Amino acid sequence: MTERPHRGTARTDPHDREGTAPARPALRVVHEPGGVDLAAAEAAAGRFLDALGISTASESLRGTPGRMARAYAELFSPRPFDLTTFPNDEGYDELVLARRIPVRSVCEHHLLPFVGTAHVGYLPGARILGLSKLARVVEHFACRPQVQERLTKQVADWLQNHLEPKGVGVVIEAEHTCMTLRGVQATGSSTMTSALLGLLRSDARSRSEFLALTGAAS
């Protein structure tokens, strides 16, 4: 991941006046993979299917190795975004919560998808965050082989470090196809994880409010 100030997309605050500090530039967040070789991935996918006794000679399956390679390349390539923040001029100090953010990722143990929703909230400090960026951060860390526990903690830690709020909370609930479609075949089961930092961990009222609003307390 590369993070750098992106001055071309800095937001100018209407309250800024001559003689005051300039608006903070947006932070450009870019995922830089080690290199995607689609041709090599397609050849490997073909060998993989062949090793499992699945012939790709038919018209229907001839393009499958290429489609597999492109599909996984897409799953592992998050879109770049600007982490735009704004001054908290009004001193807003209550919870900001984005609920039911779609999550799609791939289990690093079986390379099978897990899908669900994330609830991400924070207690603002000096700055507030553009709401769509909460979903962007979730996507950024989900687009790689993952385990749900790590994903939850990565989103929370990243927001705490870059936004410097008074507290951060993340709850993710997802269905893991490595558990529902194979092995134990626990159809309909889901896994819930949470990460609470700052006042959302230490203050009982704030913690209860966050968990109640996300449904994790029920």
- Find the helix or strand (DSSP H, E) in which 56 lies: none
- At 36-68, the pLDDT tens digits run 899 999 999 999 999 999 999 999 999 999 999
Tokens representing 98? Answer: 């984005």
- Cβ-in-10-Å burial (0-12, 13-18, 19+) of 200 comes to buried
Residues forming the active site: 107-110, 148, 176, 178
- Find the helix or strand (DSSP H, E) in which 211 lies: helix 204-214
Please report, rounded to a whole number, the percentage of residues in the chain having pLDDT higher than 70.
83
pTM for this prediction: 0.83
Q: Measure the CA–CA gap between 54 and 48, rounded to whole angstroms.
A: 9
- At 189-205, the pLDDT tens digits run 999 999 999 999 999 99
Q: Which residue has the tokens 């526990």?
A: 149
Residue 76 has phi, psi (to 5 degrees) of -100, 15
